[in-house]
């Protein structure tokens, strides 16, 4: 991954965090990593723990950012989320998996929030 992609990705996550805070989400953790993968943002929406995958693109040459969250990525996010819940003893908590799509267009960041973008197992 090039520095530009890393910088763009971090900027997208920063913008997603600001967006979520404005909507009233309480950010619990960013860039949670474990052996199963990574969750970009973990937040609380009332009584629900929400695991966010944030995808940022500077153009649409490869389609919409949200389309990049394929079943392989979903599986990794769900596994990492499950591990997080187990580690924090939150197995009986309501859970949701959302996607934040961030597109850099003419210097502005356009954000789309897809709630319940995919479902966890069990």
* DSSP string of 78-112, one letter each residue: HHHHHHHHHHTT-TTSEEEEEEEEEEEETTEEEEE
Q: Token pair 């319940």 is at which residue? A: 116
Q: What angle do CA 46, 36, 21 make, to 5 degrees?
A: 25
Number of separate domains in the chain: 1
pLDDT tens-digit series, residues 14-61: 999 999 999 999 999 999 999 999 999 999 999 999 999 999 888 766
**Alpha-carbon dihedral angle through residues 97, 3, 10, 114, given to the nearest 10 degrees:** -40
User: Does residue 27 contact residue 16 with C-beta atoms inside 8 Å?
Assistant: no
- Find the domain containing 18 and state its range: 3-118
Judge if pTM exceeds 0.95.
no
Output the pLDDT for position 75: 94
pLDDT tens-digit series, residues 75-96: 999 999 999 999 999 989 999 9
> What band does 122 get if pLDDT is binned at 50, 70 and 90?
very low
CATH of the domain at 108: 3.40.1350.10
């Amino acid at each position: 991954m090039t520095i530009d992609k890393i910088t763009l990705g971090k900027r997208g996550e920063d913008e997603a965090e600001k967006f979520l805070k404005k909507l009233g989400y309480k950010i619990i953790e960013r860039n949670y990593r474990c052996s199963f993968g990574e969750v970009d943002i973990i937040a609380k929406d009332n009584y629900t723990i929400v695991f966010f995958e944030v995808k940022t693109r500077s153009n649409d040459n490869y389609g919409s950012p949200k389309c990049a969250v394929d079943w392989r990525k979903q599986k990794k996010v769900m596994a990492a989320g499950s591990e997080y819940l187990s580690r924090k003893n939150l197995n009986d908590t309501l859970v949701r998996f959302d996607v934040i799509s961030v597109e850099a267009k003419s210097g502005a960041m356009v954000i789309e929030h897809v709630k319940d973008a995919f479902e966890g197992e069990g």
